[in-house]
Every structure is written in C-alpha cells, then in structure tokens.
Amino acid sequence: MPSYTPPLRDMQFVMHEVFNVVNDFKTIPRHADIDAQTINAVLEEAGKFASEVTFPLNISGDTEGCTIDQKTHEVTAPKGFKQAYARFVEGGWAALSCDPEFGGQGLPLVVNQCLYEMLNSANQAWTMYPGLTHGAYAALMAHGTEAQKKTYLHKMTSGEWTGSMCLTEAHCGTDLGLMRTRAEAQSDGSYRITGSKIFISAGEHDLAGNIIHLVLARLTDAPPGIKGVSLFIVPKFNVNADGSLGSRNGVFCSGIEHKMGIHGNATCQITLEGATGSLVGQANKGMNAMFVMMNAARLGVGNQSLGLTEVAYQNALAYAKDRLQMRSLSGVKAKDKPADPIIVHPDVRRMLLTARAYAEGGRALAIYCSVLLEKEHHHPDEKVRKDSGEMLSLLTPIVKAFLTDNGWIATSACQQVFGGHGYIKETGMEQYVRDARINMIYEGTNTIQSLDLLGRKVLSNNGATLRKFGKLIAALVEEEGVNEPMAEFINPIAYLGDKMTKLTTELGFKAFQNADEVGAAAVDYLRVAGHLTFGYFWARMAQVALREIASGNTDPFYQAKLQTARFYFAKLFPETASLMLTARAGAKVLMDTEAVFA
C-alpha cells in the first residue's frame, strides 16, 4: 500500500528562504500582519488533514467509483468521500483564502496553493469536488452582481455549496463558439437554459447541499461564434429570497463517463431542460467571466500533476531503497544481503531524480504564481497589479502544460521503478499514472496551452512579457555572474535566455508569412519556455542552498537540494537543444503530407 508524507520542509524552503513571501505580503494591507509561523502552523494541520483523512480514501475511491440512480439522476460518491468533505467544511479549509466579507479566513493564496498540492497528492479525485468551487467563486467575485454575490458566495466560501464549470458539448470541445445550449429570457429577468454538456467534473454528487453550475449558453438573438456566448448561474436547487433552498431546478446528470482515471470524481453528462438561470456579467460576453474560472482551473490542474508527481516520487523512493535486485555494476554495496537494493543502479536514480526535480521545480513555480495572483488582485500599487497580472498570464499555460507533461513523465518513471509491481493495483502506482493522464487533456489541451503561450502571450505583444521574465534572469545572472560555485546553474539559463530570444524572433517572422508555423512550433516552444522557467527557479534554489552550506549549515536538506539542481541541469535541462531544433523544423514537414493521409 502506498504512503504519503506532506513535503512541508520543502514548501517552507520555497516560501520563506527562496521567495521570502512574508516580505511581499507586508506590501499588501490585507496580509501585512501575516508571518511565517502562522503560515507554517496552518500548513502543518493541512498536511495532517490530507494524509490522515483523504489519502486513505484514494485507492478505495478509485476501486468503487461513483454511482448514479438513473431514476432520480442522483450521484453517490465513493464510500467515505461525503464524510471527509464534511470534515473539510467543519475544519474551515474551504474558506481558507476566501474574502472575509463572505465568511472567508482571508489567508494568502499561497497557503491555499500548498493545501491543494497536498490534497492532490493525497486524493486528486476527491480534491476536485472542493477545488472546482474556488474557480466558480473567483468568477462570481469578479463578474457577479452584488445580489448574486450575496446569494451564493457565503455558502460557496463555507463549502456548504460547491461549484461546477459547464462548458463542453459533445460536438465541440475547445471551440466553444460552436456550442448549441440556448438561453431564453423570461419576463422576470431570469433565463430558461436548455441543452446538454459533457465531461463536467463534479457535476453531480452527494457531498454538498447544492451545486452552483456556471453554464455557457447562447441567447436566442446572439451573434454566431464565440462572441455570442453568455454565462449563467444555474443552481441544482433554486435559491429562495431568504437564501434557503427551493425547488429542484431543471439541471441533472444524465450519465457518468467511464474513464481511464479519477474514478472517484463524478465526470458527468449534464442535461438542462428549461433550467432557471441568471446572467453573469454582460450578455454575449460570457467568455470574459468564464476565463476567470478557466484560468483558475488551469493553475489548479497544474497543481494536480504536481501533487501526483510528489506522491509517486515518495513511494518509488521508498520501494527503491527496499527492493533487492542484482548487484551494483561497480561492486557489491549490501554485503549482508543476497542482492543490492535497486537504488544503487544509475538508471533507477535517474528516474527518481527526474520525478524529484520536476516536483520541486513545479512547486517553486506554483508558489511563485500564487504570489503573483495575490499581487494582481490586492496590491495597492496599480502598476504592480498590472505587471503581476501580465506575468501570471504568461506563466499560466506553462503551469498547466509543462507541469502536467512532467507529471505524466514522472508518474510513468516512478511506476517503472516498481517494475511489474508498478502495474499491479495494490501498489497504487498505476492509479497515479491513470489519474495523471487526464491533466494533459482537460481545461484546454496542452497543445491549446502551447498555442496560447506562443501566439497570444508572446508573439501578440512582440515578446514584451517574455522580456520581462528575461529581466529576472538577467538580474540573477548579474548578481551571481562572478560567483564560481553558481556557474553551473547561471551559465545554462543565461545561454538559453539568449537562444530563446532568437528563436522567438525567428518564429515571429515565419508566422507572419504562414500562421501554421505557430502551430508547428508551439508545443516544442512551450517546453523550452518551461525549462527556462524551471532553470531560473532551480538556480535560485541552488543559490540559497550554496549560501547555507557556505555559512556552515550542515542540514542535509541543502545538500540534497544542490544535488537535485545539478541533476536537473545535467540531465533534463539539455532537452531544450533538441526542442529548439524541432521547433525550427517548420510546418512544411507536417502540412505537405497529403499522400500520407490519403
């Protein structure tokens, strides 16, 4: 059976020693009094909840799955899920970083980020039930009316009600302009929503008293395409004027998808039959509001794979230390045993270090983005808000795509460490692989994220935002450029930063002549950008580790961090060389292939 230990020490290292987040919070009035001790204390309890309450339900939830009563359309989550959610709500975890105006605790988003990483390690399928609510909460905070906020946000903040995101239809995935779900205006200002949605995570369940669906639909007089899409609140139970639950609304689950992974989460086919809804934001401007939830979900999905990478690594490491298999190529290591533990073998260490490097690099990026999100929404300086939002916009597709690609690589490698036992359900490893696979698909496939990065975030402003990130690298290079121990970390990112600028310029010129050049290069480009981002954060982590070691600190944590950084730059970062070659290969070898597909 697998095990899980919350990585609190590494979280504390990133927050307090690398980024010194408390200093950032001192510039934000609502968090000016927060200190490291408070953050650490909250996360210690969060780790206990994840490891002791939700983790034990992971394998059983996967085995049992969700069930639907075809007569009532009610969905029951796996045994123990409802009770765990009740403890989650009772403990105040749902309200951790929500606005105190609506009953939230008002803690920094970085605390919520770390809580959800641990929950995803413990049980991704369970975590999706409360996780989606945060995105719906954020969308209503940004675009809801005061009446809508008063009606829904208190209950969503507490966790008494959950949320869902209803976008996808059977005939259209990412191309939301093709959707057919329609909304008809009523004389009382409400709307009647009719249509069907598929792949709706946590779309129906028995964990909470109400589910607040955010539904994209098209008004009867809407213009065609994406410019004719509106967003509506469609609750499972209508809400009376006094806030109590009213009649059952015309929105229900008509089927549960049979999936490769995340069996414990109800992925639903949702049918709307004249369901009562209220408009969020302006008519035909639904994507403006929905993008708030979508971007939150994209950061959340990256966090899902981060969690799976960490727990897979922990279990593969424990197995590699215990499993005896052959002798070391360089001579017997365990003389008192009939064979050496497999951790002595170089390629086993390569697989383990790959997972560890991707987990720790991903954690640094995710925490950094949570601080950017905090600054974007709450910093008193308008320029800081704007710059933070712009940087977060650049990094969001990297979080979603790079972390989930890495999660697939890492969980597969950790399964391989187990050999044949990794293919057997009882070890838990095959579930991590199955659960990780969806993260590369939903909330915009990783190809969509790559197109977003290269086309919308980089080329659309001639690389201006990318250059801002380049300035962070340049500042670190200038700071450490003459420090010989840092050379092995500084030189690679300085070199890649220069090459990235040239690659971006080249692709921009090619795309001007043929837009397919963006599609041909985008996936490789995002992976290069991901390594540049990780390289920067790994250099910063190595900087702190070297400083501590030089000061005489003998904590083995810093040696381990330094050794992992060296592995990352030696074995993973060089992937960028081949990626830049394939990014430059162009669209012709992909598009001039009619004979192949005839």
Q: Which residues contact 238 (CB under 8 A, 6 or more apart)?
A: 245, 246, 247, 248, 249, 276
Alpha-carbon gap, residue 284 to 231, rounded angstroms = 8
Give the residue among 408, 405, 526 at the shortest CA–CA distance from 459.
Answer: 526
Q: Which residues contact 47 (CB under 8 A, 6 or more apart)?
A: 6, 8, 118
Cα angle vertex 58, ends 54, 61, to 5°?
Answer: 110
Alpha-carbon gap, residue 371 to 74, rounded angstroms = 39
Between strands 210-219 and 161-166, the pairing is: parallel
Residue 91, helix vs strand vs coil: coil
Alpha-carbon gap, residue 586 to 566, rounded angstroms = 33
Catalytic annotation, pick one of 443, 480, 517, 548: 443
Say if CB 149 and CB 140 are below 8 A apart. Answer: yes
Handedness of CA 360, 364, 366, 367 (dihedral sign): positive
Handedness of CA 54, 55, 60, 62 (dihedral sign): positive
Q: Which residues contact 404 (CB under 8 A, 6 or more apart)?
A: 301, 302, 304, 305, 436, 439, 440, 446
Alpha-carbon gap, residue 501 to 317, rounded angstroms = 38
- CA distance from start to end of the chain: 50
Which amino acid, 188?
D
Say if CB 162 and CB 130 are below 8 A apart. Answer: yes
Q: Tokens for 400?
A: 């979603």
Q: Which residues pair with 172 in a beta bridge?
A: 169
Q: Tokens for 206?
A: 């028995």
Alpha-carbon gap, residue 169 to 269, rounded angstroms = 9
The values of phi and psi at residue 221, to 5°, are: -105, 20
Give the residue among 79, 57, 85 at the shortest CA–CA distance from 1.
Answer: 57
Say if CB 372 and CB 20 are below 8 A apart. Answer: no
Alpha-carbon gap, residue 507 to 443, rounded angstroms = 26
DSSP collapsed to 3 states, 314-343: HHHHHHHHHCECCCCCCCCCCCCCCCCEHH
Whether 443 is a known active-site residue: answer: yes
Give the residue among 53, 112, 41, 116 at the shortest CA–CA distance from 87.
Answer: 53
Q: How many CB atoms within 10 Å of residue 349?
A: 15
- Could you list the active site residues? 443
